[in-house]
Amino acid sequence: MTNASKLCFVLFLIFSLSACHDSSEISVSISNDEPTAEQAVEFVAVAEKNLSEVGQEAARISWVYSNFITEDTENLAAMARRKFTTIQVEMASQAARFKDVPNLDPDTKRKLGMLRSGITIPAPRDAAKTAEQSVIGTKLRGMYGKGEYCYADGECLDLGRLSDIIAESRDPDDLLEAWNGWREVSPPMKEMYSRQVELANEGASELGFSDLGTMWRSAYDMPPEDFPSELDRLWGEVKPLYDALHCHVRAKLGQQYGTDLVPPDGPIPAHLLGNMWAQDWSNIYPLVAPPETVSSYDLSAILKDKGFDAIDMVEAGEAFFSSLGFEELPDTFWERSLFVKPEDRDVVCHASAWDVDEKDDVRIKMCIKINAEDFNTVHHELGHNYYQRAYNQQSYLHRTSANDGFHEAVGDTIALSITPEYLQKIGYLENVPDASGDISLLMKRALEGIAFLPFGLLVDQWRWKVFAGEAGPTAYNDLWWELREKYQGVKAPNERPDDAFDPGAKYHVPGNTPYTRYFLARILQFQFHRSLCDISGNEGPVHRCSIYGSQPAGERLNAMLEMGRSKPWPEELEALTGQSTMDATAILDYFAPLKTWLDEQNQGRQCGW
C-alpha cells in the first residue's frame, strides 16, 4: 500500500472520506459533521507520519536533481514536488477545518497552525494547477542553476566565475559587464514567476489567507499583521550603524572610482560593492580598510598557506562543534556530501544543508573555495546540520527551528567565535594580536554582516508587495530598485531594460526561499553570541570572545537546539538568552569600537542618500 493510500485509508476512518486516489493525487470529501478535538489529535498524527515519509522521498530526489541537473532529473524533481505539495495542500486544507474546534490542547492547536502555514508555495487543490505549479518551480531553479553569460569572444562564464570578477576586479567596465551579464539569466523567468505568484496566491486563499505574504508572516507565533512592525523595530535599532558604514564606504569608493561614478551624497552603484547582489561588501575591504596594523591578519591567506582543501575546511568546522561537546558527524556525511564543483556536470552550487532522513543522514552541498568567506559559510551550513541532529527525536512538525531565523543563526553564531584567540588555539596564528587590530577585524565583519541587514529585510518586502498585488510584472523591477535604494542606499548601475527581472538574479526568488529568516538570523546570532559568551565566562569585549572549547556554552546551546519547534520561539529564545524578545542591541555592543571610529571618519562628510 502506498503512503498516499495509507493516508486516504486513515482519513476515511476519521472523516468518512468518499474517495481516494493513487500516490500522485489525493482528493478528499469531508462530511458535514462538526470535527472534534479527539479527531484533531488523530489527524495531526496521521499528517505528520505521511508528510515525513513523502518528504524524505522528495528530499532524496531533490538531492539528485541539485547534483545532476538534466532534463530527466528535472522531470523527476517536478513529479516529487507535485506529490509532496499535493499532500501538503490536502493536510493544510484539512487542518483549516479544525482551527476553531473547542477544547484543543495547545500543542495540537499549534501544530494545526503549522500545517496551514507550513507550505512555502501552496498550490491550488486543482490537480492540473498543482502540476503546473510544480513544473514552474522546478524550471525556475533549473534556469538559475544552469545560468551563464557568454562574452563576445565566445567565453561563457557561470555565476561562480562572474562573481569572482565582481569580487576581484577594480575595472568598472569589467564589473559592469559581469553584473549585467548575470542579469541576462533572469528575464525569461519573469512570466513563469508571475504565473507562480497567481497560483500560490490562489493556494493561500484556499487555506484562509488573504495572500501568500500573509501566510508566510503567520509562521512567527504572532499575528501576521504585527510582524512587519517587529522587523521595523529591529531595523531601527541597527540603522545608525549601517548608515555610518555606508557613508564611509561611499566616500572611499568615490576616491577609487571618482565622484562622477560614485556621487558623495547619493546611492552607491551596485556593481562596485564586491558582491553580485551588493549584499556582502567584504571583497572591497582593501578599498575601505582602516590603516593596517601589525595586529591585522588575512584568514584567506592563512588557509591557502596551510594548503587547505575543501575537506580541511569542513573538518575545521566539525572540530569547533566537537569542542563544545557535540558528537562527530557520521561517516555518511563525508561519503554523501558535495564539497567541490564537479567538472563534468551542472550542479546547484548555492551552499545548502540537507537532512535527508530526518535522523542522521545529514549533508552539505557546496562548491567550496579556499577563503575566509567560505570558511565562515562552512560553519554556517554545519550549524544547520547540528541543529537537525539535535531535534531529530521531536515529532515531525517540531523537527525544525523555533522560527526560521533560528536555523540560520546557529552556524553564524559559531562563526562569530572565529576570533584571533580561536585561531591561535588551533595553531593558525602564532600569537594573539593585541587590540590595535580590532578595528580592522570589526570592519571586515561589518562589511559582511551589517552591510547585509537591509538586503536581508528588503527581499521579502518586495515579495510581500508582489503577493499582495501592489506590483504586477511590468512593475517588478521598478519596485525592486525602489526598495534597494530605500533600505540599502544602492542603485542599479545603468538603466534597466524593459524586460529586466533583476530579483530573479538572486537564487532565493526563483528558488522560492523566504528571506526574512536571514535578517532575523543576523539579529539573533549576535544575541546568541553575547549570551553564550556570558555563559562561557568571558570577561573581555564581546567581539573578542570565542566560545571554542566551552562545554557549558555547548550544553546550553544544545538544550535549545533539542527543543526544535516544540515551543513558541520567545520561550526557546529565553531558554538560551534569558530574553523573550529579539534584541539588536547585541549588534551595537559588538561593533561599538567600529561605530566610534566610523563617526570620526565621517566628520565633514554628507551622510545619507
Query: What is the rounded radius of gyration, in angstroms, for the C-alpha atoms of the chain?
Result: 24
Is 246 in the active site? no
The active-site residue out of 53, 381, 408, 448 is 381
For the four alpha carbons of 508, 514, 520 and 521, in that order, the dihedral sign comes to: negative
Using CA atoms, how far apart are residues 512 and 183, in angstroms rounded to an integer?
A: 18
How many angstroms from the chain centroid is the CA of residue 43? 31
Count Cβ neighbours within 10 Å for each residue of 169-204 and write b for 16 or more, e otherwise: beebeebbbbbbbbbebbbbbbebbeebbebbbbbb
**From the CB of residue 521, how many other CB atoms can be counted at a distance below 10 Å?**
26
Query: By C-alpha distance, which of 251, 255, 245 is closest to 170?
Result: 255
Contact 520, 459 (CB under 8 A): no
The active-site residue out of 248, 379, 384, 508 is 508
Using CA atoms, how far apart are residues 364 and 351, in angstroms rounded to an integer?
A: 7
DSSP state letters, 303-362 = HHHTT--HHHHHHHHHHHHHHTTPPPPPHHHHHH-B-S--SSS----S-EEEESSSSS-E
Q: What residues contact residue 370 under an 8 Å CB cut-off, 6+ apart?
A: 300, 303, 304, 308, 309, 310, 313
**Residue 269: beta bridge partners?**
491
Q: Rounded to the nearest 5 degrees, what angle is found at the Cα of 426, between the Cα atoms of 420 and 431?
A: 45
DSSP state letters, 56-71 = HHHHHHHHHHHHS--H
**From the CB of residue 90, how many other CB atoms can be counted at a distance below 10 Å?**
21
Start-to-end CA span in the chain (Å): 63
In eight-state DSSP terms, residue 607 is -
Using CA atoms, how far apart are residues 348 and 68, in angstroms rounded to an integer?
A: 9
Query: By C-alpha distance, which of 236, 268, 233, 265 is closest to 249?
Result: 268
* Type of residue at 434: D
Residue 491, SS3? strand
Using CA atoms, how far apart are residues 129 and 169, in angstroms rounded to an integer?
A: 46
Using CA atoms, how far apart are residues 256 and 85, in angstroms rounded to an integer?
A: 50
Query: By C-alpha distance, which of 562, 522, 554 is closest to 535?
Result: 554
Is 381 in the active site? yes
Q: Rounded to the nearest 5 degrees, what angle is found at the Cα of 92, between the Cα atoms of 86 and 96?
A: 145
Using CA atoms, how far apart are residues 389 and 399, in angstroms rounded to an integer?
A: 9
**From the CB of residue 425, how many other CB atoms can be counted at a distance below 10 Å?**
15
Catalytic residues: 381, 508
